[in-house]
Amino acid sequence: MSTGYLWVKAFHIVFVAAWFAGLFYLPRLFINLALVPADSHAERERLLLMARKLYRFMNLLMLPAVALGLWLWLGYGIGGGWMHAKLALVLVVIGYHEACRRLLRRFEALGNRHGHRWYRVFNELTVLLFAAIVVLVVVKPF
């Protein structure tokens, strides 16, 4: 393995971990937003501000994570059946990221349709996705 490959891999892992930290926390803010009483405007606005800032930061983390992953895949020829499964899950994670954007927009427009329990389940999806991706990358089962 070349030194360049190891640097790209290291930074890919850093950006993926940071991106997932945001994906773990933003739905937690949604849970809190769903629990805010209707008359608590200041609390709602504070949580929305936090959610907006976190979402913008998550976008900045996602871009290098995906770009470095593509560099590893295409530039260094990493592949196999496990990689196809991983790429499929990465597309699901990107879809989850987009779903977070849509949910945030609904909260901003006072159009939330879900209760805090729904957001608790939604929040756990990222843990399952993260675990599946890590297992595929480390174990390479096929």
- Which tens digits make up the pLDDT trace of 32-44? 999 999 899 999 9
Q: How large a percentage of the chain has pLDDT more than 70?
A: 100
- Which tens digits make up the pLDDT trace of 65-107? 999 999 999 998 888 899 999 999 999 999 999 999 999 999 9
SS (H, E, C) 68-131: HHHHHHHHCCCCCHHHHHHHHHHHHHHHHHHHHHHHHHHHHCCCCCCCHHHHHHHHHHHHHHHH
Question: What pTM does this model have?
Answer: 0.95
* The residue to which tokens 């994670």 are assigned: 93
Distance CA 118, CA 101 (A): 16
Examine the pLDDT at 121 and tell me if it is beyond 90. Answer: yes
